[in-house]
Amino acid sequence: MTDAHAASKFYITTPIYYVNARPHLGHAYTTIVCDAIARRKRMLGVDTWFLTGTDEHGQKIERSAAAAGLTPKKLVDQISPEYKTLWKRMEISYDDFIRTTDERHKRGVQEMFHLLKKNGYIYKGKYTGQYCVFDELYVDALGPGAPCPECGRPTETVSEENYYFKLSAFAEKLLKLYTENPGMIRPETRRNEVMAFLRSGLHDLSISRTSIKWGIPVPDDPKHVIYVWLDALCNYTTAVGFGSSEEKDKKQFAHYWPADVHMIGKEIVRFHCVYWPAVLLAAGLPLPKSLVAHGWLLFEQDKMSKSRGNIVRAETILDVLGNDALRYFLLREIVFGQDGSFSFDALVQRYNADLANDLGNLSSRTLTMIGRYFRGEVPYPSPTAARTPAEDSIGKLATKTIADFNTLFDDYQFSRAAEAAWNLISAVNKYLVEAEPWAVSEKEDESSRSRLATILYTAAEALRIVTALAHPIMPQATARIWAQLGLGDIRKLKLNELKWGQLQLGTKLGTIEPVFPRADKSAIERMKSMEEQHHGSGSSPSVPEQKAAIEPAGAGGQAVRQAVAGTAPAPGLVSATNSNAGDNNRIGIEDFSKIELRVGQVKTAEKVKGADKLLRLEVDIGTEIRQIVAGIAEAYSPENLIGRKVVIVANLAPRKLRGIESNGMIVAASLGEQGKPVLAGFLEDVPIGARLK
Ligand code: MSP
């Protein structure tokens, strides 16, 4: 047992997820990692608290709600439970789920604000500068439209009277802290980034907004709402009782705070490693013991995210291969800390090789043979005559595997930990092939019986050990194998006592049934088509869609074509709207629904140098500001476009025009020989972000 295991408590958190998007595999990844860690700690007998939840305030949510024609409250009440439902399906063993709209949280955030003010770290000032709504981040950038350094999206200028937090007072303190505690930020690369950021000096941070309403009011000055990141970060404390005057909450806070691990994705390192510790220092509260950042799950080479439109839903994998397959794949395949690609092919390949073949075979053949040759009772291995060096090697390897697995897992090297366990599985499968118990079983003499008992005991004991080690990774399948081994409820297992040779002789096996049926090729196709259908059905967007009928844009009976916006029309789009198309060219509604048409509002427009026809536009589509390069310069002057509502194809792959990335396409009719573009629009007022169906 390492020191970490001896600790009296262990408190682990996931980031709280924004509710402008339904959960996808990226969110599932972080949550699975934390769940596996929490389960293992509990198996080691450590008093464990695992927190997750949802981040529900701020401009991003306010805009998403407006785009969906909902109040923010209605939106967050719809999406937050979707996280809970998915976590339930995935058997995520969280102890608490916090929502930032919970009363307990609001009260705690206000208390934190109060405390920071009382301690002299808050003052009032005026902020004029850039803000990235997508990242909810103040940006030290040069001017209107400057790209956000985090996501590259154009920032917006805000000018408001705000409360400021004296972040600048903490650069030196944090540098000292991370120099003295180098292991506090993991991995090393992230620590280096944080150190460089701190060395460049810190500016004070604006921590209130007056231009938005959807947030927690500043105590005694309710026209301000508290900056969403300060609000969100406080969840780690408010969930365990901070800000409550009740005795039991105070006790809980004293017991669990500080957190042992804040698990985060690499894009939110600065908030967690700079802002949050500074806030805690200012409040006089203890700091988290470690901040652990993982890499991104990529799909088709890009970070999986709603805004890139390349998400994969966990539900599809759960439906086809099950929860354990997903968990195992993510922990085994992705090198923790680095970016890793997800693909259905790799998932099925891993599932078949490691689970159906390696573990599945070891389990089914060992248990079936014990059932057949020893009436379903764990046989007695021979202490002497029937032993060969092979049994000792397996025993030694198992002992080493336990030690290696523990070290690697505790060092966040989940992939290598699983690899170590699977090396043992391979060794035992090889041992069985060489020892040939099926052949030994055919001989009736006493020494053969004894030999058979030794072989099957060895295999069953190794199976018990890998099952125990893999339990935090695959809770359901391992619980079933454990029960088949006749060992009852796996949750009662004390992992710190796990040793070779503990399998009791004569243990009566449970009912034997296959745990990982082989997946055939059709599994890949099934999952792919489930995802395609989902994306196509329009049910995947982040927020419930507002229905708006598609209107040919004032083209006086002319065929409406996609004249565009500099990018080539999307396949299917032209025929979808071209009234000249014959019946053969017609498409089904499922094809049409693949195209995401949205209402946007032009925020800025300018000519593209050296290109007579092109304008560079920034278009607000509710959830984000998009840069679009459009071939409409000859028909529209930039100043006439600002504030105009337009229709854009939102899910087109980005393309570069004259070196400028165009992220979408503006819909227009094309008139006359020259194809003069006339922008599509609406007679009635339509909210920004509304989807056309
Ligand atoms: N609400 C903030 C976090 C506040 S914490 C006080 C936020 N939310 S989020 O919904 O955008 O979720 C971010 C987290 O989800 C990432 O930090 C990461 O843990 C997880 N992931 C989302 N997409 C991911 C991938 N494509 N890959 C891996 N993890 C991903 O930021």
Helix/strand/coil for 515: coil
Q: Could you say which DSSP state residue 662 is in?
A: E
The pLDDT assigned to 38 comes to 98
Q: Which atom of ligand 1 is nearest to the CA of 236?
A: 6
pTM above 0.85, yes or no: no
Q: If we measure between CA atoms, which residue out of 19, 23, 134 comes closest to residue 68?
A: 19
Tokens 């000032």, located at residue: 125
Residue 98 Cα, ligand 1 centroid: separation in angstroms? 16
Ligand 1 pocket test: pick from 18, 20, 64, 99 the residue with the most ligand atoms within 8 Å of its Cβ.
18
Ligand 1: does its nearest atom lie under 6 Å from the Cβ of 288?
no
For atom 8 of ligand 1, which residue has the closest CA? 17
Helix/strand/coil for 68: helix
Ligand 1 pocket test: pick from 55, 109, 412 the residue with the most ligand atoms within 8 Å of its Cβ.
55
Q: Which atom of ligand 1 is nearest to the CA of 17?
A: 10
Ligand 1: does its nearest atom lie under 6 Å from the Cβ of 337?
no
First to last CA, the chain: 59
For atom 23 of ligand 1, which residue has the closest CA? 26
Rounded-to-integer distance, Cα 616 and Cα 611, Å:
10
Residue 576 Cα, ligand 1 centroid: separation in angstroms? 36
Helix/strand/coil for 53: strand
Q: If we measure between CA atoms, which residue out of 572, 577, 549 comes closest to residue 561?
A: 577
For atom 6 of ligand 1, which residue has the closest CA? 233
Cβ neighbors of 235 (< 8 A, separation 6 or more) are 13, 16, 51, 53, 55, 98, 100, 105
Q: Which residue(s) pair with 192 in the sheet?
A: none
Structure tokens at 517: 């049926």
Ligand 1 pocket test: pick from 27, 37, 98, 298 the residue with the most ligand atoms within 8 Å of its Cβ.
27
Q: If we measure between CA atoms, which residue out of 259, 232, 268, 277 comes closest to residue 26?
A: 268
Residue 178 Cα, ligand 1 centroid: separation in angstroms? 24
The pLDDT assigned to 656 comes to 82
Helix/strand/coil for 265: strand
Angle at 226 between CA 221 and CA 227, to 5 degrees: 145
Q: Which residue(s) pair with 123 in the sheet?
A: 164
The pLDDT assigned to 537 comes to 56
Rounded-to-integer distance, Cα 30 and Cα 414, Å:
13
Ligand 1: does its nearest atom lie under 6 Å from the Cβ of 303?
yes
Structure tokens at 155: 């920032």
Tokens 């170590």, located at residue: 420
Considering Cα of 270, then 4, then 420, then 88, what sign does the dihedral take? Answer: negative
**Residue 319: other Cβ atoms inside 10 A:** 13
The pLDDT assigned to 386 comes to 72
Structure tokens at 151: 């996501």
Query: 468-501 as b/e, with b when 16 or more CB fall inside 10 Å?
Result: bbbbbbbbebbbbbbebbbbeebeebebeebebe
The pLDDT assigned to 543 comes to 44
- Mean pLDDT, contiguous 10-residue spans, the chain (693 residues): 60 97 95 98 97 97 92 97 97 98 98 98 91 89 78 86 96 98 96 97 95 95 97 98 98 98 97 98 98 95 86 95 98 97 96 97 97 95 79 97 98 98 98 96 92 96 98 98 97 96 95 93 93 68 34 25 27 27 57 85 88 89 89 87 90 85 88 79 79 86
Ligand 1: does its nearest atom lie under 6 Å from the Cβ of 422?
no
For atom 12 of ligand 1, which residue has the closest CA? 17
Please state the length of the chain: 693
Question: What are the Cα distances from residue 407, in Å, to 144, 218, 265?
Answer: 50, 46, 23
The pLDDT assigned to 116 comes to 98
Residue 474 Cα, ligand 1 centroid: separation in angstroms? 23
Q: Which atom of ligand 1 is nearest to the CA of 297?
A: 27
For atom 25 of ligand 1, which residue has the closest CA? 26
